[in-house]
Chains A and B, each alone.
Chain A
Amino acid sequence: MVVRELTGGIYFGEPRGESVMNGVETGINTEIYTRPEVERVARVAFDLARKRTRKVTSVDKSNVLESSVLWRRVVSEVGAKEYPDVSLSHMLVDNCAMQLIRNPRQFDVVVTTNLFGDILTDEASMITGSIGMLPSASIGGKVGLYEPIHGSAPDIAGRGSPTHWRWYFPSR
């Protein structure tokens, strides 16, 4: 199961935008995470792990990105202080992309940033044979919005095409 941070990171960070700088067309986005954002998503992952095999892998790019250095440190602290019964390991995202193909069973709960989670969840879905096999939920506080990972595809509703029945599928 992948826990993807959904409301922060490079998809929302400022500054962002397109401009011309020194006569050169330039596009900017900002990968930014704060301690409370990382603590929040870490707790979601650790809580889920307690209902499964008590094993969390946190995925980042801390060899290059300062936002990932913070991410790794905060996830480690939350784990050590609040969830000593859950085992935690860290993995760089490029290695994780390989390991998901090489040996997906080594993972149980993966927690990662918005950008990395966007990509890794699509990669992981193919291991099951079809993205339609997977459920997803947006969790915020006490609210969970469950839906098919691929959206509801209203354009093909009623045709009996594969998309509408599978939202309740096993998560691994």
Chain B
Amino acid sequence: MMLKYSFDMPAESAWIERAVARVLADGYRTGDIYREGEGKKVGTTEMGERVRDAVLKTSSER
């Protein structure tokens, strides 16, 4: 939101949104959105690291 609306960086903003979508699609969930039997429950540290790694990946794609 900050990148898109304050900094006019829509491409970088989209990297982050896609990274988050990818990590969720891979089944990772923090406790607040985890449901029994759906995906893998992780802590916020691991979730943050996974999003960061996904950003690095999506930003190098076209």
A residues adjacent to B (C-beta < 8 A): 48, 51, 129-130, 132-133, 135, 137, 144, 146, 160-166, 168-171
Contacts and interface: CB of A to CB of B under 8 A. Distances in A.
Interface of B: 1-2, 4-6, 16-17, 20-21, 30-33, 43-48, 51
B45 A129 contact: no
Contacts of A146: 1-2, 6
A166 B32 CA distance: 11
A144 B2 contact: yes
Contacts of B51: 165, 168
A166 to B, nearest CB: 8
A135 B2 contact: yes
Contact of B32 (A51, A132, A137, A160): A132
B5 A48 contact: yes
A146 B44 CA distance: 19
Listed from nearest, the 5 A-B pairs whose CB atoms lie closest are A160-B43, A162-B30, A162-B32, A165-B48, A130-B32
A171 B6 CA distance: 14
Contacts of B44: 160-165
Nearest to B20: A169
A26 B2 CA distance: 43
A171 B48 CA distance: 18
